């Protein structure tokens, strides 16, 4: 029922969200009205206040024009009334300039950004065509500034352009509809499983590839990823415990599950990691890891605490024929394997390690993307470790629901009246 869902998964309800809206000449007055309607519907579902969700709006064509800063409105009704009268002017389409403008002039403390307080920074770009300037560099700069970018393409929007802008993974941050009328489909699709807040109790060991192909810069990205995952959990002796095993030709336990019981200690230990270099004996490392989940090493499997092995690798296993047996042994001992592949990682091997469970397999094509992947991984991790709850299946949540899911738009649903598992319709719930 609804109460069970709310107890199980808690939606994110604190964020600074800036809509960056294309108003170029190709859109036209009629279609721009639909954009206004879309914005109105999204904002209607947000908890607008200084303490919860703040919204900004930047319109752009030849140049960028700020309509709403993050500190402009703390009253939802006033903001909604303003959205109804957003102007449409037409012109060119310089998306890169708009992204730069938002980073330099809107996502700043002086205009209401709460980045320094750890509040999630989100940009939602809505565009219908190709940009007339460089987008890739501007988008990368915005992502590096700590902003998660969603890209919504309409009509003839360039898919490659949307991918260049959006955060990773693209299937969670890129939305494409073939006409403006279908924007309504995005705002009417409801998230079936809001994000969990934090992983509260689990035994988690990072099994980290330190082979020669991992440069110092790449290893630093792996450390940033691990630290981001740790920050999204509640660390403590009776809560979530962490361990780290580094491997190349041979594996080595750096610290065990019982060694540290504070977040500060774990983060400091991850900062101190040194890459061992060598070959990529992943199968050997998997077999080695099993013993570090036992009681002597701080494991709490006997107490029914969820146990997770998070494998991070960038290459093909040297002992590829030795992956199956230790992966099966881990699962037989109640240990869930998350496989995280970067750049040259073998996707088939990632699936073998995860036991064929694709919801536990994550792949990004570069190390910059790895640093941002933690948001997706920690969502799945949280849902996998909730006590006595059935994890949400990734296949159930439609692409269009992800925007609503992030923003916390979770209207009351009568779950017993709808078969989520076997519905094969358009991805929308009967209302």
Domain 202-385 = CATH 3.40.50.410: yes
pLDDT reported for residue 389? 42
pLDDT reported for residue 162? 87
Would you say the CATH fold of 202-385 matches that of 2-188?
A: yes
Specify the pairing of strand 307-313 against strand 202-209. parallel
Average pLDDT over residues 241-258: 96
Structure tokens at 134: 């460089």
pLDDT reported for residue 386? 62
Please give the class, per CATH, of domain 2-188.
alpha beta
Determine which of 36-45, 66-75, 171-180, 199-208 has the lowest per-residue pLDDT on average.
171-180
Contacts of 150 (CB under 8 A, 6+ apart): 122, 123, 124, 125, 166, 167, 173, 174, 175, 403, 406
pLDDT reported for residue 158? 75
Compute the Cα dihedral for 205, 210, 216, 218 and give only its sign: negative
pLDDT reported for residue 197? 59
pLDDT reported for residue 192? 27
Please determine, for residue 410, whether its predicted confidence score (pLDDT) is greater than 60. Answer: no
Instruction: Name which of 8, 12, 10, 33 is nearest 21 in CA terms.
Output: 33
Determine which of 39-48, 299-308, 361-370, 413-422 has the lowest per-residue pLDDT on average.
413-422
pLDDT tens, 348-402?
999 999 998 887 888 887 777 777 777 777 777 776 776 544 333 332 223 334 4
pLDDT reported for residue 289? 97
Average pLDDT over residues 145-169: 83
Determine which of 12-16, 29-33, 228-232, 331-335 has the lowest per-residue pLDDT on average.
12-16
Determine which of 49-58, 192-201, 224-233, 276-285 has the lowest per-residue pLDDT on average.
192-201
Contacts of 407 (CB under 8 A, 6+ apart): 11, 12, 15, 17, 42, 45, 46, 53
Average pLDDT over residues 240-260: 96
pTM of this structure: 0.51
Please determine, for residue 427, whether its predicted confidence score (pLDDT) is greater than 50. Answer: no
pLDDT tens, 181-190?
545 544 443 3
Whole-number Cα distances in Å, 225 to 178, 193, 218, 245? 35, 24, 11, 15
Spatial separation of the C-alpha atoms in residues 290 and 271, rounded to whole Å: 24
Spatial separation of the C-alpha atoms in residues 147 and 164, rounded to whole Å: 14
Tell me the chain's radius of gyration from C-alpha atoms. Answer: 23
Please determine, for residue 245, whether its predicted confidence score (pLDDT) is greater than 80. Answer: yes
Domain spans, the chain = 2-188, 202-385
Please determine, for residue 132, whether its predicted confidence score (pLDDT) is greater than 70. Answer: yes
Rounded to 5 degrees, φ, ψ at 325 are -60, -50
Compute how many other C-beta atoms are within 10 angstroms of the C-beta atom of residue 367: 20
Give the residue carrying structure tokens 């990682």.
Answer: 345
* DSSP H helix total and E strand total for the chain: 15, 12
pLDDT tens, 266-303?
999 999 999 998 999 999 999 999 999 999 999 999 99
Whether 165 and 125 have beta carbons less than 8 Å apart is answered as yes
């Amino acid at each position: 029922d609804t109460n069970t869902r709310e107890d199980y998964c808690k939606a994110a309800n604190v964020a600074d969200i800036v809509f960056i809206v294309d108003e170029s000449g190709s859109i036209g007055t009629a279609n721009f009205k639909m954009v206004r309607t879309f914005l109105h519907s999204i904002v209607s579902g947000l908890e607008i206040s200084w303490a919860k969700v703040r919204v900004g709006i930047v319109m752009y064509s030849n140049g960028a024009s700020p309509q709403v800063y993050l500190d402009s409105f703390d009253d939802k009704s006033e903001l909604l009334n303003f959205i109804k009268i957003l102007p449409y002017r037409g012109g060119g389409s310089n998306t890169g300039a708009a992204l730069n403008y938002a980073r330099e002039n809107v996502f700043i403390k002086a205009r209401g950004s709460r980045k320094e307080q750890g509040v999630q920074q989100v940009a939602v770009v809505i565009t219908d065509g190709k940009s007339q300037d460089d987008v890739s560099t501007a988008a990368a700069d915005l992502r590096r500034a700590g902003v998660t970018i969603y890209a919504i393409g309409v009509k003839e929007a360039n898919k490659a352009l949307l991918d260049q802008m959006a955060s990773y993974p693209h299937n969670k941050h890129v939305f494409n509809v073939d006409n403006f009328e279908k924007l309504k489909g995005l705002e009417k699709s409801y998230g079936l499983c809001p994000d969990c807040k934090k992983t509260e109790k689990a035994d988690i060991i990072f099994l980290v590839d330190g082979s020669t192909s991992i440069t110092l810069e790449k290893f630093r990205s792996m450390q940033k990823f691990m630290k981001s995952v740790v920050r999204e959990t509640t660390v403590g002796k009776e809560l979530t415990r962490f361990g780290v095993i580094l491997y190349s030709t041979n594996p080595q336990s750096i610290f065990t599950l019982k060694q540290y019981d504070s977040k500060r200690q774990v983060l400091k230990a991850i900062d101190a990691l040194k890459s061992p270099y060598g070959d990529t004996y992943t199968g050997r490392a998997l077999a080695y890891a099993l013993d570090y989940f036992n009681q002597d090493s701080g494991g709490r499997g006997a107490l029914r605490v969820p146990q997770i092995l998070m494998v991070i690798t960038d290459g093909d296993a040297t002992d590829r024929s030795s992956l199956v047996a230790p992966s099966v042994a881990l699962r037989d001992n109640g240990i869930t394997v998350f496989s995280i592949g970067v750049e040259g990682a073998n996707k088939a091997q990632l699936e073998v390690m995860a036991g064929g469970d694709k919801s536990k397999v994550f792949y990004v094509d570069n190390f910059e993307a790895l640093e941002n992947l933690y948001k997706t991984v920690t969502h799945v991790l949280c849902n996998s470790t909730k006590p006595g709850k059935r994890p949400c299946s990734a296949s159930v949540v439609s692409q269009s629901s992800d925007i609503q899911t992030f923003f916390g738009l979770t209207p009351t649903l009568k779950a017993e009246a709808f078969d989520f598992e076997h519905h094969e319709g358009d991805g929308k719930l009967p209302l």
